[in-house]
A and B are shown apart, each in its own frame.
Chain A
Amino acid sequence: MIEFLTDPWQLPFMQRAFAVAAVIGLVCGVIGVYVVLRGMAFIGDAVAHSAFPGVALAYAFEGNLLLGGAAAGITTAVLIAFVSQNRRLKEDTVIGVFFAFAFGLGIVLVSTRDSWTTDLSSFLFGQVLAVSAADVWTVAAIGAVLVLMVLAIGKELVAVSLDRETARAAGLPVFRLDLALYVVVTTTIVMSLEAVGNILVLALLITPAATARMLTERLWAMTLLASLIGCTGSVAGLYVSYAYDLAAGGSVVVVLTGLFVLTWCLAPRHGLLAKLLQRPDPSALASAGR
C-alpha cells in the first residue's frame, strides 16, 4: 500500500504530473463554482472547443500553443458576452453553431500537418505525463492570478449572479463584469488544455463545483469544497492511471465523476438517499424545485 502511494513519486515526470494536476484541479474548482452557478457550462464548452483552432494555428506555424489558444478562446468569449447582451437572440443556438465551426476549423488546420493524427489526440485528450517543469510553474502562476481575480471581484459577481437588472440599476458595470468572468473562465480552460485536453477540461471545471453544490448552501464552503475535490480527484485519478496503466486525463475525469455520483446519492441533505429517507416537507420541496 505504501509503495502504491510512494512509487509514482520516484519518477520525475509523475512528480510534475501530480503537481500540475493538483494545481489545475484546485483552480478549476474555484472558477468552476461561477461556471456552475451562472449556468455557463455550455459557454465553457464553446470556449474550450474554440480555443482549438487557435492552438492548431499556433502549432501549424510553430508558435506558442498557450498564446494561440488563449487568443482564440478569449475572442470567442468576448463575442459570446457581446451577443448575449441582446436578450432577443437565443444564446445557445449561436454558441452551438459557433463552437462546431471552431472545432471543425481546428481539425482542418491540424490536418495540414503530416503527423496530425497523433497530434490531434494530444490536443483533445492532453498529455499530463509530458508537462515540463516550466509548464508547472506557468500553470501555478496563472492559476494564482485567476483565483485572486475572482476573489477580488467576488462580491460584485455575486450581486450580478443573483439579479442582473437590479445590479445594473444600482450602477454596477454588469457587462464588464461578465466580460471579466468570461476571460477568467477562458484563461482557466486554455491553461488546462495541455494537461487534460480540449474535451476533458470541462469535467474539471464543472464536476467538482457541481459536487460541492450538493453538499452546501454557502458560497465560501462551496468554493473551498470544489477546489478540494478538484485537487484530490485529479491526484487520485493520476494514481489510478499509473497503477492500472490507463489514460491519465480520462482516469481523472472518471474519478471526479465517480465522486459526483457518490455525492449525488449520499449527500446529507440533498442526496438521493436523504430524499428517500426523509418525509417530504415544504422546505425540501422548495429547494428540490429549483
Chain B
Amino acid sequence: MADSADPLLRVTGATVVLGGRTALEKADLSVDAGELVGLIGPNGAGKTTLLRAVLGLVPLAAGAVTVEGGTGRRAGRLIGYVPQRHEFAWDFPIDIAGAVLTGRTRQMGWLRRPGAADREAVQQALELTGLTDLRRRPIGELSGGQRQRVLVARALAAGPRILLLDEPFTGVDVPTQELLNELFGRLAAEGRALLMTTHDLAAAARTCHRVALINRTVVAEGGPDLLADSDQMLRAFGLDRAIGAVA
C-alpha cells in the first residue's frame, strides 16, 4: 500500500449491479506482490462478487480493475482463480493430474497437446500442493481437503502472479488448513499477490497480512488486528444499524 509503484492488483471504485441490485458499490482495494489479503464480510456482502468482477466474469457498472497498472486480456492471464469447491464437477472421470492440467488449457492453445512446459508446470503445482503421490487418483475419490488442494494446483499450473481464493478454508480438516496456510504464505513470499474471501475470522487473523472488511463496499482495511476492533467489525457486518435501530 505504501509502495510508490503500482500494486500488483488494484480495484478502484468498483460498482457491480446484479439483476437491478447493487451488489458492490465503489469498492477500493489493492494487493501488493508478496501480500496475502483477507476479504471478510457477512453472507451476501459482495465478497465473491468482488472476485468475479476482478476476473471479468461480471461487468463493472463503474470503476476499474488494473493488474500491474494494465487492464484487459493480458491482465487476465496473470490472475489465477480458485473457486468454491461446489463449483467443480467432482463426478467427472479424470484423475488429479488431468484436472490440474485443465488449468493450462488456454496456454496450450487450440488443437495442441500438452508439451514439456505444460507437464513441468503440472508437476510443480502438484509438488507445491503435496499431491504428487496422489496424481493418478480419480477426483471422485478425494476428501474435501484434497479437493481444495486440486483447485489450488489447477490455478497454479497456469503460473499466475495473482491468486484469488474463494472460501478456501470452508469445510476442510485441520491438517489441510495448516498445509494451505503454509502454502499460501510460501506463494506470497515468492512474490505473488493473494486475495482470499473467508468466513473464518480465526483463520484470517492467523494467515493474512492484511484484511479488508467488506459489506457492499470496503468498509475498512488494515492489519489482522482490525478483526479485534469491535466497532469496525459491527460496521462491516451491518450490526451497527441493527443496534442503532434497537436503541
Interface residues of A (CB under 8 A from B): 37, 88, 152-153, 155-156, 158-159, 161-163, 165-172, 213, 216-219, 221-222, 282-283, 286-287, 290
Verify A166–B19 contact, CB threshold 8 A: no
Q: Which of B95, B99, B108 contacts A162 (CB 8 A)?
A: B99
Binds A, one of B76-84, B202-210, B222-230: B76-84
Given contacts A158-B94, A165-B57, A171-B73, contact A287 B105 (CB under 8 A): no
Which interface residue of A156, A170, A286 has the most chain B CB atoms within 10 A?
A170
B191 proximal to A (CB < 8 A): no
Chain A: interface secondary structure?
helix
Verify B19–A88 contact, CB threshold 8 A: yes
7 closest residue pairs by CB, A with B: A217-B138, A290-B91, A169-B55, A159-B105, A159-B102, A283-B141, A287-B140
Verify A161–B140 contact, CB threshold 8 A: no
Which single residue of chain A is at the shortest CB-CB distance from B158?
A170
Verify A290–B57 contact, CB threshold 8 A: no
Chain B: interface secondary structure?
mixed
Q: Please, how many residues of chain B have a CB less than 8 angstroms from a CB on the other chain?
A: 37
Verify A172–B83 contact, CB threshold 8 A: no
Residues of B within 8 A of A163 (CB): 83, 87-89, 102
Bound Cα distance A155, B102 (Å): 7
Which single residue of chain A is at the shortest CB-CB distance from B154?
A166
Verify B93–A162 contact, CB threshold 8 A: no
Residues of A within 8 A of B94 (CB): 158, 162, 217-219
Verify A167–B105 contact, CB threshold 8 A: yes
Bound Cα distance A219, B89 (Å): 14
Verify A286–B141 contact, CB threshold 8 A: yes
Which single residue of chain A is at the shortest CB-CB distance from B164?
A169
Verify A216–B92 contact, CB threshold 8 A: no
Verify A162–B92 contact, CB threshold 8 A: yes
Residues of A within 8 A of B79 (CB): 169
Residues of B within 8 A of A165 (CB): 52, 57, 81, 83, 87
> Once A and B bind, how many residue pairs between them come within 8 Å at the CB atom?
90
Bound Cα distance A171, B106 (Å): 7
Residues of A within 8 A of B141 (CB): 217, 283, 286-287
B63 proximal to A (CB < 8 A): no
Bound Cα distance A217, B93 (Å): 4
Residues of B within 8 A of A168 (CB): 57
Which single residue of chain A is at the shortest CB-CB distance from B90?
A290
Verify B105–A216 contact, CB threshold 8 A: no
B142 proximal to A (CB < 8 A): yes
Verify B83–A166 contact, CB threshold 8 A: yes
B111 proximal to A (CB < 8 A): yes
Q: Which of A152, A218, A286, A287 contacts B95 (CB 8 A)?
A: A218
Verify A169–B19 contact, CB threshold 8 A: no
Residues of A within 8 A of B77 (CB): 171
Residues of B within 8 A of A37 (CB): 89, 92-93
Residues of B within 8 A of A159 (CB): 102, 105
6 more contacts with CB within 8 A, not counting A168-B57, A219-B98, A221-B93, are A37-B93, A158-B92, A163-B88, A165-B57, A218-B94, A286-B143
Verify A169–B140 contact, CB threshold 8 A: no
